[in-house]
Structure 1
Amino acid sequence: MTDTLLEIHTAALAGMTASPGAFGKWAGLVAEEDFPDADLSEATFCARLTEEGESGGALTALWARSLTAWDFADSPRWSPDTEPRTAERRSAAYDRLRFGDDIRKVLDSAVPVVRMAGTTVIAREHTPWYTPERAAARSFYWRAYEGKLRQKGWSEAAIASLDEASRTVVERLTDPEQEAPRQAKGLVVGYVQSGKTANFTGVTAKAVDAGYRLVIILGGTLNLLRAQTQRRLDMELIGQENILRGADPDDVDSLVGIDYIGDDADWPAFVQHGGRPSVLRAFDIERLTTRENDYQSLAQGIRALEFEKREQGLPLYDRANLHRAAARVMVVKKNKSVLTKLVKDLRQIKGILGELPALIIDDESDQASVNTSDPKKWDKGATERTAINGLISELLGLLPRAQYIGYSATPFANVFVDPGDAEDIFPSDFLISLPRPHGYMGAQDFHDLDSPLDYSERTAANSQEKAHVRGIGEEQGDRLQEAMDAFLLTGALKLFRADHGVPEQAFRHHTMLIHESVRTDDHAELADLVKSMWHQAGYASTEGHTRLAALWEGDFAAVSAARALDLPNPAAYRELQPYVSRARQLITKGGNPVVVVNGNSDRYFDQLDLDFDRTPNVWKILIGGTKLSRGFTVEGLTVTYYRRTTRQADTLMQMGRWFGFRPGYQDLVRLYIGREEALTKTRTADLYEAFEAVCRDEEQFRQQLAQYAELVDGQPQVTPAQIPPLVAQHLSWVRPSARNKMFNAQLVEVRSPGKPVEPAAYPQDPEELRRNTERWQPLLSRFTEQTESFTSSPTDGSSGRTFSALTARVSHADLIAVLSQLEWERTGIFLPHLRYLAQLDGRLAKVDDWLLIAPQLAQASRTEASVLGSVPLSLVRRSRQADKPSFGRIAGLDHRLAAQNLIDAAAVPGAVPPRGVGPGTGVVLLYPVVEATADTEVPSVVSQGKADPSKLVMAFTLIPPQSAIGTSRRLVHFEARNSRNEDAIIAATADQDR
C-alpha cells in the first residue's frame, strides 16, 4: 500500500539537503505532479507524528534525519549566527520551513534537539578545502557507511555527531588535489572503549571519497586485533562487491580463497553497494590485506601498488586522474617484520609515490608508535628511534603526501613527542578531542565526581558508586564468590530480558574480567581457584539459589528499579530462576567457565577462540593481565573484579575495561575494586580513588582544551606545539618532557575571568608549609567569629544545600601580596595565574577587592583550631593523589557552586550585588587542609586548640569577576624561549625547570 504522505515528504526533503526551505511549496510541487488529492495540512502532519508515538515510525525517522542534520550543521549559510544543537538553531530551521506553532511543538516532542558537546579542535591555521559542497559532491563511501550505521540501529543524533567529528578531522588534512606536497600530523583523543574505530572508519570513508588513494591503518600489535579492525572496515565500509572483485557470488568455484564466504554468519550484513563502485561512477577499493592475512611482500610488488592514470601527462593528484583511480586500503599490524616488508615494497616504486595522496591511521598511537629510545643519546648525532617509530618515520619519508592521524584515549605520550623532530609523529597540525558518545559508560558512571551529597545520603538512585561499585579489601573481604554470583545472575537477567522484548543481539556476549596480577603464574593459580569455586558454588542447589536470590533482592532489584524502569525486570527471584540454569550452561559450555588471557603471541590468541566477531556467543570469565589493557575489547563485559595496582596514569586508564557501551544492561554492570590498598609507604589511597583521580585529570584536561579552543579574532589561542607546557602547568605531576628536554613554547599567562582557579601542587616539606601558613596570617586575622549562611544552586535543578562560613573582605593588593610569596611543589606552577591576577590592579582590568570565605564543616564532623592566632577555623581532610604531589579536588561542590553563583549574579547588568559582591569583587574559598582521609582523626595537628602551621596546607580556590578580562578574549599567552625560532625546542636540564 502506498504511503502517500511519506512519499511527498521524502521527495520534498530531498530537495532541501543543503538548507531548509518553504516546506509547503516543496510539498505542493510534489503533490501537484503525482498526488493532486493529498492532504498536506499541518493538522494531518501533526496527527501522523502523534500516531507514530514514542517508538517512532517512517515519517518520524525521515524528519529526524533532516532536522538532526540541520541541528548539527557547522555555521550554515542559512543561519550563520546560531550555534549547533540549540533551540535557536532549530527555531531558525522552523522559520525557513515556515512552520506554525503546533507542528513545531509536535516535532520538538518527536525529535528533540540533542544538546551534546561537539568536537574540540586545537590546531594551526589551515587552508579550508573540505567544503560542504565538495563533501556532498563526492560521498559514495560515506553514504554507504552512514547507511550501515542506520541498519545497526544508530540514532540520527549519533550518526550526525560522527559525521561532524569525522569531518572535523578530514578538513584538517591537506587537500589531496593540492599541487604542493604537504604532510599534516594530528592526534584524535577519544575515551577508553568509546568507539574510536567508528570515527576512523568515518574518516577513511570521507578521505577516500575526497581523493586519498592509499590508506594504511596500523591496527594493534596482535593478529587478532588487526583482523578485528580489518573485518570491521570490510563489513561496514569496503563492502561485498569490493571483496568479491567481480567473482560471481552464486558460483562456488569462483569464491575459493575469498574471505568471509561460507565461514562468517554475518556475510549477508556486509555493506552492499548495488554493483561494482567503478561501474556506479565511483571507484573501487582494493584490499592489500585480508581478514586472515596481514601485509605480505607483494610478488608483483610494483604492479600491485601502481595507479593507472587516465591522463598520462598529468600527475595522479590531478582531479582528472585522482577520482577515477582505485583506492588501496591495508590494515597492518604494528610489527617490525610486517612494516619492514611494506617499506621495502614502497621503495621499489618510482615516481608515483610523490604524486600519491596517502593517509596513515595509527590506532592506539601511544602504544609502540611513540619513540621511547633514550634521549640522552640524541645530542651525539641523529635521533635514535625504536623499531616501530623508525618504520613509521620511513613511511612518512617515502610518502611526501602522506597524512598521519594518531588515535588514543591516553594522549599524554603523543603530546610529549619531540615537536622539533620533523620525522616523528608529534601532532603538529591538530589535536582533536572527541565528545563523550551517547550511551557510553565512562568515569562519570562509576564515580560521584561532583556529588554534593554526604556519603550517608547516597543511594542507588542518586549515586553512581552505590549503583555500580562494590568495594573489596580488608573490611569488605575479597567478595570473589559474590562477584561470580553476580556474573551468573546478570547472565540470567539478560536472558530474561531477551525473552521479554529486548533485542537478543545486545546480549550476544556475556563476560566477567578478573585482574589481580601481571604474573602468568598467578593467573594459572587464580584460574584453578575460580574453577574450583565455580564448581563448588552449588548453583543448581537450594543453597545456591538462596544465595542468588539474596543477591538479587539486596542489590540488583533495587538498582534496576532505580535506573532501568524502562527495561523488563522480574518481580521476584522465582521468575528469574529458570534462566539461571540456561546462563550456567552457556558459561560452562566446553566444560570450563574460565579463560586465561596472558599470552603475547598470535598463536596463543588463536587457540583461545576469543574472536568476539566470529564466535556466536562468548560467555566466559576472563583472567588476565597486561594483555587485556590495550586494544583488546572485551565484549559483553558486565562484572569486573580488579585488584591490581599500577603507578602509571595511562596504564591505569587503559585498564578501565569496564568503560564502554552497555545497551540494555547498564544497570547490571558491577565493578568490584580494591578500596584499601597501600600504594606508597608514606600514604594510603585505594585503587578506586586512584582511578577517580586519573579520571578527574583527564576530564579537566579535556575541559581546558575546550576552553582554549575558541578562536580570538579568527586566530587560535593555542596551537598543538603549545599543549605540552599547558599540560605540565595543568597537571603538576607531569614533567614538560623528557628529563633533558624543554619545549620552546613557555606558558606565560593563564586568564580565568569568572572561572575557578584551584591549584593542586602544594608543598610537602613541613618548613615550606609553615612559611606558607605564616604568609596567610595577615588575611586570616581579618576573620571574626560571626558566620554567614550560603546556599548552592546545583545545575541539575535539585534543591540547593546550605552551609555556614566565616567571611572577610580584603583588598586586591593584600591578596596579591600573599599569593606572590607562596611556595609550591614545583617552582613556577602557579606563575601563569599569578601574572594574570597581578594585572587586575587596573593594567588589564580593575578588581577592587575579594570576599574570603572559609567554609565550616557540619558540626558532627568538624575539627576546629586557631591558625597563628586566628579565630577557630574548620580544618578539612584531603588526600594527595597516589604517587603525586597534587591533591584531587579540594573545594567542596556546594562551596564552589555558591561562590560561582555570587560571581555570576554580580555580572548581571543592573542586578543588586549579592552580599556586596559587585562586578569588581572576586571570591576566594580558603581551606586549612590536613593531609588525611575522611575518617582519619587529626589530634596530632591540633594542640590546645591551636593548629601546627607546619602540618597545614593553606589551600584555596579563587574566582575572579567576569569583568576581569580587558578588551581581549584571549585566555592564554605563550612566549618562545628562542624567539628566532618559535617552533623549535632547546635542550635544558631538568633542574632548569624547577
Structure 2
Amino acid sequence: MTDPLTLDSALRIVRVLIANGLPRDDAVGNPAIPEQLRSQVRELLSREEMIVLRPASIITAESGRGDWLRRMDRSGWYYWPSLRDYLLNVKGWGAPAVRSLDESTDRILAEVSDPASERFDIRGLVLGYVQSGKTANFTALMAKAADVGFRLLVVLSGLDNGLRRQTQIRVNKELAGYADSRPGAVPLPPMGRQWHQFTTEDFDGDFRAGNANHSALQGTQPVLLVVKKNGPVLRRLHAWIDAAPEEVRRTLPLLVIDDEADQASVDTRGSYQTGTTSADDEDYEAPAVINGLIRQLLQKFQRCAYVAYTATPFANILIPHDTVDPSVGNDLYPKDFIVDLPKPSGYFGAEELFGRQDPETGELIGGIDAVRHIPDADLATLENGIVPPSLDRALLDFILAGAARAERGDGVHPATMLIHTSQRTDEHDRIWRQVDARFGELKDEWRYQREQGIRERMRERWQTEFVPVTRASFVGRERSFDQIEEHIGPFVEAVLVRQINSATGEMLDYEREPGLKAIAVGGNKLARGLTLEGLLISYFVRPSAMYDTLMQMGRWFGFRGGYEDLTRIWMPAELAGWFSDLANVEYSLREDIRRYEVEQVTPLQLGTRILEHPAMLVTNRLKSRFATTIIVEQSYSSQVVQTVKFPFRRPVDLAALLEENVLATRDMLGRLGTPTWLDSGPMWSNVSADEVLAYLATYQVDDEVRSLSLALLDSYIERQREQGELVRWTVAMMGRTSHDPRLGRLPWDIPGGIVNMISRSRLRGDPDSLGVITSPGDEAVGFTPEQLDQVTQLRQARGIGINPAAREIRDPSEGLLLIYPISRRSGQELVPGGARQSLFGDPNDPLARDVLGIALSFPRSMNAQSVRGTYAIGTAGWRPE
C-alpha cells in the first residue's frame, strides 16, 4: 500500500496547482506527481467534489442587515485572500472545506454590520462543534472584518496563559505573519497593512498598557489583541482605552471575539434588571466580574460587535434576553443572530463516536467501534492508586497505535494519550506516578526482555484489538504485527509522561515540540480549549453532572484523518451512554435553529429549548438561574417505539427482567387464542387495547433506560382510545422466515406452528443497546394487498422508507405490537472489530437468556393527543410547531 504521507503530499501539490489555475488533469499529470499515485489522487479529488456542503443556519433579528456586504467590492481585500491561500497551499485544505469556511464567515460578517455605520451594537452567537475548527472560523471572520474596515479586534481567549498563548500563536500564523517570514504562516503583510499587536506569544505575553500605543488606534492599520478572561488584564485594557481620545471611541469599529463564550463570560451573580432598576436599589446585585468587564468594554464604543463562539451554547442561550444593567448595559444574550455552523467533512463528534437515536425511525445513527468500557472493578482499583487492567491495556494500545502511525509515515507528527480521572491535582500526581512507573516497566520489558512475554502480548493485542477494526472499515490500511514491530522501540523511547495541571506548570507545547509523543495526565487544563494533537488513546473516568462541562471534556472529538481506526476511548459504560444522550440533545437544539431560520423567527421572539436529562444538569445552576423548565406536549403519532436497551452490564438484573418478560408475554398470548400464521410467525388481529395495556403493565423495562417510558405510552394509548383511535391492535411475533439451527426455536406451545428465533447483536460502543430491533417491512405486517400498494405509492411519492410509509397508511383506529424473539446465541458468528458484538459472550452461561424485544408502531393520528417531555428554556420563550 502507498504510504499515506506520500499520498497526502501529492494531493497537496495538486491542490496548489489547481488553485493557481491549472486544469485538474494537467495538475494530476504533473511530473512532480508519481505515476503510481495519480489514480488515488484523482479518486480523492472526485470525492471532494461530491461533498455536499450544508450552509450555515442562521436566525437573525433583521433579515436585510447583510445587504451591505453583498454590495461591497472585494477586489481590494488583502487579509482573507492571504488566509485563503495559506489554507489551500500551506495547510493543504481541500477546496470544499475552504469554500464552506468562506460561505459561513460571509453569513456571520453580514450580521456583524457595516463598520462604516454611524452606530451599532451587535450581539451574536456562533455554534460550532467541540474541536471542530471554530478557531479557523473566527480567524477567517477577523480577516474579513479587517478587510471591510474593523480597526480594533479583541479575542477573549481562555482563563489561563497556556490557552491564551495557543490562540495567539494561531492568529499570528493565520493573520499577522512574522517578520522573519518563517514557513508555516501567512506572509508578513506589506507596509501599511501590518497588524499592530500589543500581546505576544510569550507565556505571560498578555495585554499590558506599557506595551501599547494609543496612536495605533488612530491610524489605518488594524489592532489585534488576544487577552485572557481575567479581571486584572481586562481592567488594564479598560484603562488604556479610557485614556484614548474620545473621538477614537466614538468612531473606531470594535469587533470582540469571545472564544469558549460559555466559560466565564456568562453572568453568574447579577440580579435580573430590565432598565428600570437603579444600582442603589435594595435588590440590585452587580454582575459577575468578567461578565461585567466585557459588557463595559462594549459600552465604551458606539460601533461595536460581540460574537460569541462555543460548541456548548446551553448557558449562552439561557442568558436573560432583556437584561439592561444600569452600570454595564445589555447582557450578552445573542439578540441579533445565532449561527449554527455546518459539521465539517471528516469530523468525529458525539454522534459519530457514540451514536444517537433517530426520532423518526428509532434507529441508531452513527457510533463507530472506538469506545471501550472500563469495568466498575477497575474504577475501584484506580481509586486505590493501582494501575488497573483496563489502563494497562490502554497503555499497550497507545504504543501499538503510535507505532502503526509511524509505519504509515506519520511518525514525525505528535501522538498523545489522555488520562483524565479527576480535577484534583493531588490525584493527578498519584496517577502520574503510577502511570510513569508502569510505562517505564513496559519500556524496560521491550528493551531488555522482549522474548519473555511482552512481544507476544503486543502481537495478540494488535491482532485482536486493531486488525479487526481496520479490516472492517479501512481494508487498505491493514498491517501485520511484524510490519509495525520495528516502530515500537523508537516510539516507546520518544514517549514522555507529563502531569498537566496548575501545580506542575507543565504544558503540551506542540510549537516548540512539533513531534511530541506524550501521555498527558491531568484534569481541568485538559478539559477545555486545549487541542491535544494526534490524540490516539483517551482514558476518561471523570463524570460531570452538566451537559456543557461533559461535552467540553471530550478532547477526543475532532479530526482523525488517516488514523480513525487507531483511535480508542476508554470510559465507564454509563458515561458512554450519557455522551450518546447528549448527541440527541445537540441534534434537537440544532434542528430548532434550522426550523426557526425557515420560519424567519428572531432570537428575541423565540428562544431555543434544551431537552432535559434525568441524571444531568443543562449547565451550572448559577448560569441557568433565570431559566425555567417547561412541559412540552408531544405525541407518538406516526412514531415507532422499540425496546433496544437492556441491562447487559448487570447480568443478574438482566436475567430476572428477561424471565419476567417471558412470563408476561406467554400470559398475554395465551389469552389471545389461535393466531393466523405468516412466514414470520403468528399474528393476532382485532386485539383489544385493554389486552395491550395489560401487557405493557407487566412487561419490564430497565429502570436506567431514559429513552422509553411505558407510563407515557400507556397514557397516549388511553387518550387516543377516548378519541376512537388505537381501539384495536394487531399483535405479531416476528421470527425468522427460515430455521437457523444456531439460533434455535422458541420453546413455547403456540397453536398452529413453531416460531424461529432471530438474531440481534449489541452495539460495541453502547453494550447495553441493540440499536434497533425492527427490520424494513415489519410495520406493514397484516396489510391487505391494497394497503401494500398504497405503501409503495407513498414511498415513491415521498421518498421514505417502508416502515414510515406503513404508519401513514395504517388505520388510526389500529395499533401494531410486534414481539421479537431474540436468541441468546445471537452474534456468535460476528467477526471481531466491527461495530457490533454478540448478545452474550458465552450463551451457555447460567445467566444468559433469550431476549423478548417489543416495538409499538403508531399510525398517523387524525386527532393526536399529547404526552409530556421536559425542556429548559431561557427568558425568550418557546412555542411548539
TM-score w.r.t. structure 2 length? Answer: 0.68
**Cα distance, 1:670 vs structure 2:** 1.1
Task: Pick from 446, 454, 473 the counterpart of residue 563 of structure 1.
Answer: 473
Are residues 1:371 and 2:267 paired? yes
**Cα distance, 1:535 vs structure 2:** 2.3
Q: Which has the higher contact order (CA 8 A, sep 6+)?
A: 2
Please give the residue correspondences for 1:619-638 in structure 2 after superposition, counting only pairs within 5 Å: 619-638=517-536
Residues 806-845 of structure 1 show CA distances to partners (whole Å, capped at 9, x for unaligned) of 776999xx99xx9xxxxx99xxx99xx99xx99x99xxxx
The corresponding residue for 2:234 is 339
Alignment check: 8 A CA contact 1:184 1:403 kept: yes
The corresponding residue for 1:255 is none
The corresponding residue for 1:144 is 82
> Partner of 1:894: helix, strand, or coil?
coil
Are residues 1:485 and 2:396 paired? yes
Residues 691-749 of structure 1 show CA distances to partners (whole Å, capped at 9, x for unaligned) of 2222222233323433x14424xx33x6355224x325899976899799767998988
> Partner of 2:475: helix, strand, or coil?
coil
Are residues 1:474 and 2:377 paired? yes
Residues 583-632 of structure 1 show CA distances to partners (whole Å, capped at 9, x for unaligned) of 11111xxxxx31111216xxx53xx2521222232211111122211112
Are residues 1:112 and 2:18 paired? no
Task: Pick from 423, 433, 438 the counterpart of residue 533 of structure 1.
Answer: 438
Q: What stretches of structure 2 of length at least 5 have no aligned partner?
A: 1-13, 325-329, 380-387, 645-668, 697-705, 737-742, 749-756, 761-767, 781-787, 821-838, 841-851, 865-872
Please give the residue correspondences for 1:523-672 in structure 2 after superposition, counting only pairs within 5 Å: 523-537=428-442, 538-540=445-447, 541-542=450-451, 543-567=453-477, 569-570=478-479, 572-587=480-495, 593-599=496-502, 604-605=504-505, 608-672=506-570
The corresponding residue for 2:94 is 155
The corresponding residue for 1:693 is 581
Distance 1:599 1:407, change over 3 A: same
Alignment check: 8 A CA contact 1:511 1:638 kept: yes
Quote the Cα distance in structure 2 between the aligned partners of 1:375 and 1:758: 46
Task: Pick from 187, 196, 202 the counterpart of residue 272 of structure 1.
Answer: 187
Are residues 1:186 and 2:124 paired? yes
Are residues 1:296 and 2:194 paired? no
Alignment check: 8 A CA contact 1:808 1:852 kept: yes
Alignment check: 8 A CA contact 1:753 1:964 kept: no
> Partner of 1:446: helix, strand, or coil?
helix
Distance 1:188 1:387, change over 3 A: same
Distance 1:129 1:471, change over 3 A: same
Alignment check: 8 A CA contact 1:755 1:959 kept: yes
Please give the residue correspondences for 1:128-277 in structure 2 after superposition, counting only pairs within 5 Å: 128-134=66-72, 136-150=74-88, 151-179=90-118, 181-240=119-178, 244=179, 267-272=182-187, 275-276=190-191
The code of the aligned residue for 2:338 comes to: L
Please give the residue correspondences for 1:929-940 in structure 2 after superposition, counting only pairs within 5 Å: none
Quote the Cα distance in structure 1 between the aligned partners of 2:476 and 2:805: 44
Distance 1:582 1:401, change over 3 A: same
My pick for the range that moved more, 476-485 or 335-344, is: 476-485
The corresponding residue for 1:766 is none
**Cα distance, 1:909 vs structure 2:** 5.7
Alignment check: 8 A CA contact 1:447 1:465 kept: yes
Distance 1:719 1:861, change over 3 A: farther
The code of the aligned residue for 1:221 comes to: L
Residues 312-355 of structure 1 show CA distances to partners (whole Å, capped at 9, x for unaligned) of xxxxxxxxxxxxx2111111011111001111222223132122
Alignment check: 8 A CA contact 2:173 2:186 kept: yes
Quote the Cα distance in structure 2 between the aligned partners of 1:211 and 1:187: 21
Identity score, percent: 27
**Cα distance, 1:160 vs structure 2:** 1.0
Task: Pick from 221, 224, 240 the counterpart of residue 329 of structure 1.
Answer: 224
Distance 1:406 1:984, change over 3 A: closer
Task: Pick from 410, 422, 447 the counterpart of residue 517 of structure 1.
Answer: 422
Alignment check: 8 A CA contact 1:144 1:273 kept: no
The code of the aligned residue for 1:711 comes to: V
Residues 412-438 of structure 1 show CA distances to partners (whole Å, capped at 9, x for unaligned) of 111111112142111112222222211
> Partner of 1:384: helix, strand, or coil?
coil
Distance 1:710 1:362, change over 3 A: closer
Distance 1:355 1:687, change over 3 A: same
The corresponding residue for 1:32 is none
Q: What stretches of structure 1 of length at least 5 have no aligned partner?
A: 1-5, 15-44, 65-105, 250-260, 262-266, 309-324, 453-457, 588-592, 676-685, 761-779, 791-801, 819-823, 842-846, 866-873, 878-887, 936-946, 966-976, 987-994
The corresponding residue for 2:846 is none
TM-score w.r.t. structure 1 length? Answer: 0.61
Are residues 1:419 and 2:321 paired? yes
Alignment check: 8 A CA contact 2:312 2:551 kept: yes
Quote the Cα distance in structure 2 between the aligned partners of 1:56 and 1:133: 45
> Partner of 2:125: helix, strand, or coil?
strand
Residues 925-946 of structure 1 show CA distances to partners (whole Å, capped at 9, x for unaligned) of 77999xxxx99xxxxxxxxxxx
**Cα distance, 1:510 vs structure 2:** 0.9
Are residues 1:727 and 2:610 paired? yes
> Partner of 1:268: helix, strand, or coil?
coil
The code of the aligned residue for 1:439 comes to: G
The corresponding residue for 2:754 is none
Distance 1:928 1:110, change over 3 A: closer
**Cα distance, 1:360 vs structure 2:** 0.8
Quote the Cα distance in structure 1 between the aligned partners of 2:622 and 2:31: 59
The corresponding residue for 1:711 is 598
Distance 1:344 1:661, change over 3 A: same
Distance 1:169 1:376, change over 3 A: closer
Quote the Cα distance in structure 2 between the aligned partners of 1:363 and 1:908: 47
Distance 1:914 1:272, change over 3 A: closer
The code of the aligned residue for 2:399 comes to: L
The code of the aligned residue for 2:251 comes to: E
> Partner of 1:121: helix, strand, or coil?
strand
Quote the Cα distance in structure 2 between the aligned partners of 1:139 and 1:964: 58
Alignment check: 8 A CA contact 2:809 2:859 kept: no
The corresponding residue for 1:28 is none
Please give the residue correspondences for 1:81-100 in structure 2 after superposition, counting only pairs within 5 Å: none
Alignment check: 8 A CA contact 2:808 2:859 kept: no
The corresponding residue for 1:394 is 296
**Cα distance, 1:138 vs structure 2:** 4.6
Distance 1:958 1:142, change over 3 A: farther
Distance 1:274 1:124, change over 3 A: closer
The code of the aligned residue for 1:360 comes to: V
The code of the aligned residue for 2:184 comes to: A
The code of the aligned residue for 2:610 comes to: V
Task: Pick from 54, 59, 62 the counterpart of residue 125 of structure 1.
Answer: 62
My pick for the range that moved more, 410-419 or 613-622, is: 613-622
Distance 1:122 1:853, change over 3 A: farther
**Cα distance, 1:369 vs structure 2:** 0.8
Counting matched residue pairs gives 718
The corresponding residue for 2:869 is none
Distance 1:745 1:558, change over 3 A: closer
**Cα distance, 1:555 vs structure 2:** 1.5
Alignment check: 8 A CA contact 2:636 2:858 kept: no
Alignment check: 8 A CA contact 1:756 1:957 kept: yes
The corresponding residue for 1:798 is none
**Cα distance, 1:687 vs structure 2:** 2.0
The corresponding residue for 2:250 is 354
Task: Pick from 680, 692, 702 the counterpart of residue 590 of structure 2.
Answer: 702
Quote the Cα distance in structure 2 between the aligned partners of 1:803 and 1:449: 31
> Partner of 1:346: helix, strand, or coil?
helix
Alignment check: 8 A CA contact 2:49 2:96 kept: no
**Cα distance, 1:786 vs structure 2:** 4.9
Task: Pick from 774, 793, 813 the counterpart of residue 894 of structure 1.
Answer: 774
